[in-house]
Structure 1
Amino acid sequence: MKKNKLIFLLIFFFLSVLELYSQTGKKQIAEQTYQIPGMIYISSGEFLMGTEDGFDYETPKRKVFLPAFFIDKYEVTNSQFKRFVDSTLRTPPAHWKGGSFPKGEENYPVSSIAYYDALAYAKWAGKRLPTEEEWEKAARGSDARIYPWGNDWEKKYANVRPMLGFGKPKPVGSCPEGASKDGVCDLCGNVWEWTTSWFQPYPGNTKPDPNYGEKFKVIRGGSYRQSEVIAQTVRRDFLDPNALRIDVGFRCVK
């Protein structure tokens, strides 16, 4: 009798595993066949967020689980933001002359955008802005990369500050070799990117910082004005949500 019961339990377990595998496979197939033009799919799962080697406000390193999401392959461009401005009559960036971006810069990342303008664009486009957790997972992947492409710095893979001066922005996608493992471009350098996250301590971080609270939004990715160290996937900075900085732009998620 005990032998029959054991056989029954083994068969039940085996069938349960097969069913779970089948359902998981069906879900993955369904997710992979659903695509959004101009966006990259980031699968659900855990990733390592934070570091033990950075600034105090970037610690500690911990596991974070996120559901699947889509993220723009590129930063939002001047031409994309111009369509939003024309459609909503929203005030264009201050450095645009005559209500439009400089000639020949249609594919440059839009910049000098306040957080709330980026938020309005995302809503108009049927999307939203990323949390900093989503941003870091898209950049870092599930294998805890230092840079989107891997752990070794490659100068031609990102638009960051040169040895002399501050550099300048480039059209989005100018450094395709620096894409993340999923194919997201310009997550390192070019322009900083807004997130929806307030600048708060990470869970488990008890070190005080006068800038914590609901005063500043987290920006990610570095820019052409910072070195490659500041553009690493774990780096975070903060900014007044009303600030207009020439090296800050954004991308959307869905």
Structure 2
Amino acid sequence: MPLLIPSAVVAALRAAGCVFAEDEAELILATARTPDELTAMVERRTAGLPLEHVLGWARFHGLRIAVEPGVFVPRRRTEFLVDQALARLPGARVVVDLCCGSGAVGAALAAALGRVELHAADVDPAAVRCARRNLADHGGHAYAGDLFEPLPRTLLGRVDILAANVPYVPSDEVGLLPAEAREHEPLRALDGGADGLDVLRRVATAAPGWLAPGGCLLIETSEQQAQEAALIFTRAGLATSLAVSEELHAHVVIGARP
């Protein structure tokens, strides 16, 4: 039977263990177009599907980002990476979003910067399809492939902001993640190898050839990995700094091409 009473939606979500049942119910009720759709959405959420996959979108840096099932959900802490990029390069004209997932970072940067040349890439075809939807209004391009491999060679030496939200969970810690992430997001968007820094190393090593003079590479990492990640940036020839947000529990390593 379709759920028609808001309190019934809240009760169903609370019974399933949703900590913010009232807030989630409000979003689901506002998104569902019919009683049957509402019931189906509540059933998917109570079965453990991430709220963003149930809604079909995630709020990120003031934007509504389309998120399809099986695609990595952008985290609020990653808004800090966007803010750091904007603070350092407010006049950026060429932006690349690597390991782009839904394209949330690239879309947020383009929305704040105005008209930019925007490119994004991800190894997951489902993520790329999603990113194309989110970047379309900004004139952005999304490519399927491994890191820099699918990007146009015309970008070499021209990128002002290179944002890379790489996977950084150590392989033996993936099993400790919340079930929503483990069961509904792609493993390759989470698993960063033995120490969580495998993909970061590859990006940092190649980044100087793609950055414009003064351009910056920005990568989110964990508190435990931040110092080693900064050393990797420095060894790659980048002028390195670390930005931290205690409020968001966010750590962003920043490397500028001299």
When normalised by structure 1's length, the TM-score is: 0.30
Bigger share in helix: 2
Bigger share in strand: 2
